[in-house]
């Protein structure tokens, strides 16, 4: 069933067909329409869920933790400062191994106040124990919301998951989306099968005060689950591709990398622009390619290493910055490539919602090609399209 819908509608529809028992939410621009659409589904009798309107994002995540602990499928959504307000409770969801699914509409974090896309809201949450996937278009918003439940609820994982979509570029922009029928999703996604849950007839203590003798083991178990998630992600991707015909290639997707001299690693909607730039530069005889980094947690460390072993230079695009160090994607990439001698560059662009144009991406590739030819980069970290800064 093809319909032209926004990314927010795609996320809400994905939640509907996954049949969560509890949706606890609080509105925040530009996410608000996700939970508004869900409230309409519930009001119209299209969705059988307990929709709980909370008084803050902190409360919304607290309600999701409580609901999930009782063994029911749970969903919420947020953005920007709302995610920051949830920060305290994000750790609880992962430590208690509660597979809450939450689309996050990536938006500028104040200050200054802005409502447009950047990743400085989700990237600071990368160490909370949540799985994180960054999507490119509205079809992927829907498909990854569905896949997220199957990944998060797998008994080898049992971790919460964020599905990250760019503010306004996806959330409020319409695209044709194949809205998967309910019976097809039912075939793909089994009912949630919790290992342990809070019930009156089987009382237990969950998330209680713990001395140092136990907390380190909890952190270790969460780390093991995050590492196991990579295999589950790849398997779920294959199962989804077999049933629905759309293959997202698991942890990352390569585009024209087989014979590339240089590669740019992208996240989110910039990937679409980069594909067109790659095609145009290939026609001009320049051997460039891209890697669409889909999952930031878990991070595809070995895959990045293997790709980098085939090229003369590699760049990492970031829509957020870790001040004084570079972008988070670059930081992870440099870590993965420790010991490699090829130039590794960081391109910071589109922060605060600024448009990333084709010429910006072409500049990134030209700088990578120059670094590859000379065996080193003039600058490791480059701010693209920044007033007063010469790249």
What confidence tens digit (pLDDT) does each residue in 153-200 have?
999 999 999 999 999 999 999 999 999 999 999 999 999 999 988 888
Strands 288-293 and 344-348: unpaired
Rounded average pLDDT over 347-358: 97
**Contact of 16 with 42, CB cutoff 8 Å:** no
Which pLDDT does position 221 carry in this prediction? 97
| pLDDT tens digits for range 357-381 | 999 999 999 999 999 999 999 999 9
Q: Which of 232, 216, 215, 222 is nearest to 90 (CA)?
A: 222
Residue 205 pLDDT greater than 90, yes or no: no
Q: For the domain 252-383, what is the CATH code? A: 3.40.50.920
Between CA 384 and CA 365 the distance in angstroms is 12
Which pLDDT does position 204 carry in this prediction? 85
Look up the pTM and report it.
0.97
Q: What are phi and psi of 367, to 5 degrees?
A: -70, -35
Close Cβ partners of 66 (under 8 Å, ≥ 6 residues apart): none
- CATH 3.40.50.920 in the chain: give the residue spans: 252-383
Between CA 223 and CA 127 the distance in angstroms is 10
| pLDDT tens digits for range 279-306 | 999 999 999 999 999 999 999 999 999 9
- Where does the pLDDT of residue 80 fall: very low under 50, low under 70, confident under 90, or very high at 90 and above? very high
Between CA 80 and CA 110 the distance in angstroms is 8
**Contact of 382 with 390, CB cutoff 8 Å:** no
Which pLDDT does position 391 carry in this prediction? 83
Which pLDDT does position 223 carry in this prediction? 98
Residue 264 pLDDT greater than 90, yes or no: yes
Which pLDDT does position 186 carry in this prediction? 98
Residue 23 pLDDT greater than 90, yes or no: yes
Number of other CB atoms surrounding residue 170 within 10 Å: 27
Residue 1 pLDDT greater than 90, yes or no: no
User: What average pLDDT is seen over the chain?
Assistant: 97
Between CA 325 and CA 260 the distance in angstroms is 28
**Contact of 275 with 137, CB cutoff 8 Å:** no
Angle at 6 between CA 114 and CA 318, to 5 degrees: 45
- CATH 3.40.50.970 in the chain: give the residue spans: 2-244
Angle at 209 between CA 204 and CA 212, to 5 degrees: 120
Rounded average pLDDT over 32-37: 98
Rounded average pLDDT over 308-334: 98
Residue 255 pLDDT greater than 90, yes or no: yes
Rounded average pLDDT over 240-255: 98
The verdict on domain 2-244 having CATH code 3.40.50.2300 is no
CA dihedral 350, 354, 358, 362 (to 10 degrees): -40
Which pLDDT does position 176 carry in this prediction? 98
């Amino acid at each position: 069933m093809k319909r032209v819908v926004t990314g927010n509608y795609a996320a809400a529809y994905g939640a509907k067909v996954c049949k969560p028992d509890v949706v606890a939410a609080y509105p925040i621009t530009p996410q608000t329409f996700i939970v508004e659409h869900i409230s309409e589904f519930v009001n119209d009798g299209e969705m059988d869920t307990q929709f709980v309107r909370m008084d803050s994002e902190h409360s919304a995540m607290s309600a999701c933790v409580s609901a999930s602990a009782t063994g029911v499928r749970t969903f919420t959504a947020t953005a920007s400062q709302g995610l920051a307000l949830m920060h305290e409770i994000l750790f609880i969801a992962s430590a208690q191994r509660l597979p809450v699914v939450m689309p996050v509409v990536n938006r500028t974090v104040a200050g200054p106040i802005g409502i447009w896309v950047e990743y400085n809201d989700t990237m600071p949450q990368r160490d909370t124990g949540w799985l994180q996937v960054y999507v490119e278009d509205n079809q992927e918003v829907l498909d990854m919301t569905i896949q997220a439940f199957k990944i998060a609820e797998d008994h080898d994982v049992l971790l919460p998951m964020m599905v990250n979509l760019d503010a306004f570029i996806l959330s409020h922009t319409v695209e044709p989306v194949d809205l998967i029928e309910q019976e097809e999703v039912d075939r793909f996604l089994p009912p949630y099968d919790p290992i342990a849950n809070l019930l009156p007839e089987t009382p237990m203590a969950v998330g209680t005060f713990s001395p140092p003798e136990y907390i380190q083991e909890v952190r270790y178990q969460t780390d093991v689950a995050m590492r196991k998630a990579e295999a589950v992600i790849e398997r779920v991707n294959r199962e989804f591709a077999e049933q629905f015909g759309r293959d997202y290639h698991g942890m990352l997707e390569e585009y024209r990398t087989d014979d590339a001299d240089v590669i740019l690693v992208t996240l989110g909607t910039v990937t679409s622009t980069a594909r067109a730039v790659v095609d145009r530069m290939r026609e001009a005889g320049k051997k460039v390619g891209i890697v669409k980094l889909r999952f930031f947690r878990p991070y595809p460390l070995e895959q990045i290493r293997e790709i980098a072993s085939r090229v003369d230079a590699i760049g990492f695009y970031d829509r957020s910055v870790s001040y004084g160090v570079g972008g988070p994607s670059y930081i992870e990439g440099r870590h993965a490539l420790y010991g490699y001698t090829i130039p590794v560059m960081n391109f910071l662009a589109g922060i605060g919602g600024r448009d990333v144009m084709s010429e910006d991406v072409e500049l990134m590739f030209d700088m990578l090609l120059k670094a590859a030819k000379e065996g080193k980069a003039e600058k490791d970290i480059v701010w693209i399209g920044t007033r007063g800064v010469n790249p």
